[in-house]
Amino acid sequence: MKMKNLKISIFSVLLTFFASALFIGCGKDDKPYDPTAGYPKDATVRYEVSSTTNNTASVTYTNETGEDTSIESVALPFTKEVKKKVEFAEIFTLLSSIPVRNNESEV
């Protein structure tokens, strides 16, 4: 008789647990997720270029207006901060070209 009561008690506890998990886990969200929420927003982009072998480079970066700015033979290390109101998924670019010294080629 005790074993039957124990089985019924365990069954009741498990049934209550699964029923409550089903109802709690199936709540409807009021709003769908919107990744663009909060945009446009103010952001600061920091560009940095450095080298262990050279002291100059050519650098191209996206500026405050969204256009590219190119600087030739800039002293390294180079650092530039751009403050801008950005849109969702806006792309910023940083390109650098460091001249190679003592380059040898053989054919």
Per-residue confidence band for 1, with pLDDT thresholds at 50, 70 and 90: low
pLDDT in tens, 11-55: 777 777 777 776 676 556 678 889 999 999 999 999 999 988 888
b/e per residue, 22-45, with b = 16+ CB within 10 A? Answer: eeeeeeeeeeeeeeeeeeeeeeeb
Per-residue confidence band for 100, with pLDDT thresholds at 50, 70 and 90: confident
Q: Which residue blocks in the chain are alpha helix, DSSP H?
A: 2-25
Average pLDDT on 64-71 reads 95
